[in-house]
Amino acid sequence: LNGSARQESSLFTVQSPNVVYTDDEIKSKYAYQTTEITRTADNKLVATPKATNYNFKVNRKVGKVGMMLVGWGGNNGSTVTAGILANRRNISWETREGKQASNYYGSIVMGSTVKLGTDAKTGEDINIPFHDLLPMVHPNDLAIGGWDISSLNLAESMDRAQVLEPALKSQVRKEMAEMKPLPSIYYPDFIAANQEDRADNILEGDKACWAHVEKIQQDIRDFKAQNGLDKVVIMWTANTERYADIIPGVNDTADNLINSIKTGHLEVAPSTVFAVAAILEDTPFINGSPQNTFVPGALQLAEQRRAFIGGDDFKSGQTKMKSALVDFLINAGIKLTSIASYNHLGNNDGKNLSSQKQFRSKEISKSNVVDDMVAANHILYEKDEHPDHTVVIKYMPAVGDNKRALDEYYAEIFMGGHQTISLFNICEDSLLASPLIIDLVVLAEMMTRISWQADSEGAEYKGFHSVLSILSYMLKAPLTPPGTPVVNALGKQRSALINIFRACVGLQPESEMTLEHKLF
Ligand code: NAI
């Protein structure tokens, strides 16, 4: 099935004077309800309901979509590839617990449902797959390709990763063996020195140059042509790099960054070169690692080109729990006073993170994830007061990809009492991250087909801002448009995503009031 065939069988239509369906588009008029706060002279708050009218337009033609992974031969890259192939062919395999079928568990798009509304006859909730909310690409239909500094084919990478069961691997091995990552760019200074022995598939040159940008652009075009694709989404799932220094005149503006690539400045990271190439090809680029790929110059270039970018760092295990649990504690009126987070892991990610500069990137992205929730509660916290927060990561080869995350949450409760919550979370790393890669690709692609128009004479349809903060649910350190707030709370991130998609088909947010069940 290609995307346009799927669109014919959409699960629901909206019956409303504000929503119009054509073969190619869904158009909606939407009143965005907010509350505007002003202050009186004696500093009292005045809340005024406000409605802003928007028109949304969704292109229903999904087309053929490709996903290109930087770091394709890594644990995530090989696992997500095998997972999609297995789902596409509906493979099942023997385990000691019986037959296991392929699935997309852990993907918000493929594994979660959304309440559409209430049954007119029975009053029951009607829940639909998230994937059916708008016409989205199906992950089974994604063409897959990418780059790696390691030359192993995907079957060999899958073995090296030690993630999937032998009985599953044997059924996808032949197809995986035919997949070979394109040579990539390798500037040794940016990833740990202990990665050097796998770097045998690299383009000439050990610092940024324009030829690298052009080669990546050409790779994108070739991949599109070879697979007959309408568009591609690129994902950085390669090693965590060290932070790049932000230097005025070097990477602070789009022009300076381009010039620095051309003159081979040493502070330009491989991930930034990939981002620049993707932006110039108008291809969405998502950063699944914690480093500051999107230096100010890269961000400005994306804005100038109206290209989509998103990041940073997949939110898969420990931090996902944290952004749900801390939201719960603080919203319950409990004063969280410290979080101690310990991890040990034995995969190649852990090996890379055993180097101090790369660990530092991860430490930064793991550390700020409760700030918005703390700042929102001025009853529990004074201005600028924060819970203590420590993050430790250790490389422990024996546990492989089965990362251990140990967290202690210490909180102050009623009348000086204390609550201590200890979590032991075994995060099968690549099996948690792979569905996030799928979600990020599906949702980023979806965003390329949504446009909006102000409800005024002569207003034009435009896209969303280049920085796709709507992807925050999947990301540990969500990138947002400059000057806009970062939301880390998991529940809020999910609501934003679902409610924006509902607005695109003219539906109000699900308010959870269920008044129909509460009144006499
Ligand atoms: P991995 O180390 O198994 O895979 C990374 C791959 O990138 C390797 O195959 C390596 O050869 C390749 N690589 C390195 N530099 C490259 C370059 N310049 N161009 C092309 N390929 C390059 O790591 P894994 O476990 O797949 O994780 C990937 C990234 O995702 C890491 O940065 C990790 O921190 C991040 N991440 C992973 C999570 C998870 O697995 N649950 C959660 C959050 C982030």
**Edge-to-edge strand list for the sheet holding 402-412:** 388-395, 335-345, 402-412, 418-428
Q: What is the pLDDT of residue 9?
A: 59
Report which ligand 1 atom has the smallest distance to the Cα of 430. 40
By the 8 A CB rule, do 507 and 498 touch? no
Mean pLDDT of 138-150: 98
CA–CA separation, 392 and 405 (whole Å):
10
Q: What is the pLDDT of residues 454-508, one digit of tens each?
A: 988 899 999 999 999 999 999 999 999 999 999 999 999 999 999 999 999 999 9
Mean pLDDT of 115-139: 95
CA–CA separation, 118 and 516 (whole Å):
10
SS3 content of the chain, % helix, strand, coil (to 5): 35, 25, 40
Ligand 1 probe mutation, 194, 349, 428, most atoms within 8 A of CB: 349
369 pLDDT tier (thresholds 50, 70, 90): confident
Residue recorded with tokens 């099968």: 428
For ligand 1, say whether the CB of 293 is within 6 Å of any of its atoms.
no
By the 8 A CB rule, do 62 and 2 touch? yes
Q: What is the pLDDT of residues 418-460, one digit of tens each?
A: 999 999 999 899 999 999 999 999 999 999 999 999 988 899 9
Q: Is the pLDDT of residue 136 over 90?
A: yes
Give the residue with greater pLDDT, 446 vs 1: 446
For ligand 1, say whether the CB of 238 is within 6 Å of any of its atoms.
yes
Ramachandran class of 181: left when φ > 0, alpha when ψ lies in -120 to 50, beta otherwise = beta
Q: Is the pLDDT of residue 200 over 90?
A: yes
Q: Six-digit token pair at 259?
A: 């010039």
- What is the distance in A from the centroid of ligand 1 to the CA of 143? 20
- Residue nearest ligand 1's atom 28 by CA: 237
- What is the distance in A from the centroid of ligand 1 to the CA of 233? 17
By the 8 A CB rule, do 313 and 290 touch? yes
For ligand 1, say whether the CB of 186 is within 6 Å of any of its atoms.
yes
Q: What is the pLDDT of residues 11-52, one digit of tens each?
A: 999 999 999 999 999 999 999 999 999 999 999 999 999 999
Ramachandran class of 244: left when φ > 0, alpha when ψ lies in -120 to 50, beta otherwise = beta
Mean pLDDT of 256-283: 98
Q: Six-digit token pair at 468?
A: 């796709």
Dihedral (Cα; 301, 435, 89, 147), 10-degree rounding? 40
For ligand 1, say whether the CB of 219 is within 6 Å of any of its atoms.
no
CA–CA separation, 364 and 106 (whole Å):
25
Q: What is the pTM of this model?
A: 0.96
**Amino acid type, 371:** D
Burial of 416 (C-beta count, 10 Å sphere; 0-12/13-18/19+): exposed
For ligand 1, say whether the CB of 191 is within 6 Å of any of its atoms.
yes
Ligand 1 probe mutation, 239, 315, 434, most atoms within 8 A of CB: 239
Ordered DSSP codes for 296-308: HHHHHHHHHHT--
Report which ligand 1 atom has the smallest distance to the Cα of 191. 15
Cis previous bond, 245, omega within 30? no
Task: Decide: helix, strand or coil at residue 37.
Answer: strand
Active-site annotation, residues: 313, 362, 403, 476
CA–CA separation, 268 and 126 (whole Å):
50
**Amino acid type, 146:** G
For ligand 1, say whether the CB of 433 is within 6 Å of any of its atoms.
yes
Count helices and strands (H / E) in the chain: 15, 17
CA–CA separation, 79 and 73 (whole Å):
9
> What's 314's DSSP letter?
B
Tell me whether 0.90 is exceeded by the ipTM.
Answer: yes
Q: Is the pLDDT of residue 8 over 60?
A: no
Report which ligand 1 atom has the smallest distance to the Cα of 161. 3
By the 8 A CB rule, do 312 and 293 touch? yes
Mean of pLDDT over the chain: 94
Q: What is the pLDDT of residues 294-347, one digit of tens each?
A: 999 999 999 999 999 999 999 998 899 999 999 999 999 999 999 999 999 999
Burial of 28 (C-beta count, 10 Å sphere; 0-12/13-18/19+): buried
By the 8 A CB rule, do 228 and 65 touch? no
For ligand 1, say whether the CB of 312 is within 6 Å of any of its atoms.
no
Report which ligand 1 atom has the smallest distance to the Cα of 239. 32
Task: Decide: helix, strand or coil at residue 68.
Answer: strand
CA–CA separation, 118 and 125 (whole Å):
5
- What is the distance in A from the centroid of ligand 1 to the CA of 384? 35
Q: What is the largest CA-CA distance in the chain?
A: 75
For ligand 1, say whether the CB of 434 is within 6 Å of any of its atoms.
no
CA–CA separation, 464 and 254 (whole Å):
20
Strand ranges inside 179-257, DSSP E: 231-236
Burial of 370 (C-beta count, 10 Å sphere; 0-12/13-18/19+): buried
By the 8 A CB rule, do 476 and 365 touch? yes
For ligand 1, say whether the CB of 314 is within 6 Å of any of its atoms.
yes
Q: Is the pLDDT of residue 403 over 80?
A: yes
Give the least confident one: 62-71, 170-179, 287-296, 347-356.
Answer: 347-356
- What is the distance in A from the centroid of ligand 1 to the CA of 149? 11
Ligand 1 probe mutation, 152, 158, 237, 429, most atoms within 8 A of CB: 237
For ligand 1, say whether the CB of 150 is within 6 Å of any of its atoms.
yes
Q: Six-digit token pair at 158?
A: 């899958």
Report which ligand 1 atom has the smallest distance to the Cα of 198. 11
Burial of 91 (C-beta count, 10 Å sphere; 0-12/13-18/19+): middle
